[in-house]
Structure 1
Amino acid sequence: MISVGLYYRVKRGHEEEFERMFNEVLNFLRENVDGFINAKLYRSVDDPSEYLIYSEWRDLESFKRFIMSREYKETITYGRTILEDKPKHRIFQEIGV
């Protein structure tokens, strides 16, 4: 399993729109994307325009397939209209201890 942290800074006044879009994408992922496990949205307590999406995937290949998909690219294109800057992504892999 891998976890992906996606960090976003949303333009002021677009926070509700970003949250609504997250829920739409989450529903799409749950219904259509093989290898997607779950995701949660977090907002910074210090800056309400900063968000973290924490997502879990079966494996790195599943996540890579999604980020190469048309749906992901459409979401990114739309996101440019409401984001302050390019999002940052960090991928972590679960290790057995």
Structure 2
Amino acid sequence: MINVGFYYKIKKGHEKEFEEKFLEIVKILKTTNSGLIEAKLYRSVEDPTEYLMYTEWKDLDSFRNFILSEGYKNTVSYGKTILDGKPTHRVLQELNT
């Protein structure tokens, strides 16, 4: 299993739109056997335009397939209209200790 944190800053006034799009995409990913296990969205208490999307994936290949998909490319194109700056992400792997 791997975890990916996506960090976003949204243009003011688009917060609700971003949250709704998140729910829509997660629903699609969970019903298409994409390898997504879980996804949660967090909003900063200090700046309500900053978000963390925390996701759990079956494996690294599942995540890689997702970011190479046409759906992801479409989401990135759409995101450019409501994002304030470029998003970042970090991929973490669970250690079996």
TMscore range, shorter length = over 0.9
- Residue 20 of structure 1: aligned partner: 20
**AA aligned opposite 2:26:** L
- Residue 31 of structure 2: aligned partner: 31
- Residue 43 of structure 1: aligned partner: 43
* Equivalent-residue separation in structure 2 for 1:17 and 1:48 (angstroms): 13
The residue correspondences of 1:49-68 to structure 2 (distance < 5 A) are 49-68=49-68
Is residue 4–residue 56 contact of structure 1 (8 Å, CA) maintained in 2?
yes
Q: 1:10-69 CA distances to partner (integer Å, 9 max, x unpaired)?
A: 000000000000000010110114311010000000000000000000110000000000
* Equivalent-residue separation in structure 2 for 1:86 and 1:33 (angstroms): 28
- Residue 83 of structure 1: aligned partner: 83
Report the secondary structure of 2:7's partner residue.
Answer: strand
Percent pairwise identity: 56
Report the secondary structure of 1:61's partner residue.
Answer: helix
* Equivalent-residue separation in structure 1 for 2:69 and 2:34 (angstroms): 12
**AA aligned opposite 1:12:** K
Aligned residues: 97
* Equivalent-residue separation in structure 2 for 1:52 and 1:62 (angstroms): 20
For the aligned residue pairs, the C-alpha RMSD in angstroms reads 0.6
TM-score normalised per structure 1 = 0.98
Unaligned runs of 5+ in 1: none
Once superposed, which parts of structure 1, at least 4 consecutive aligned residues long, lie more than 4 Å away? none
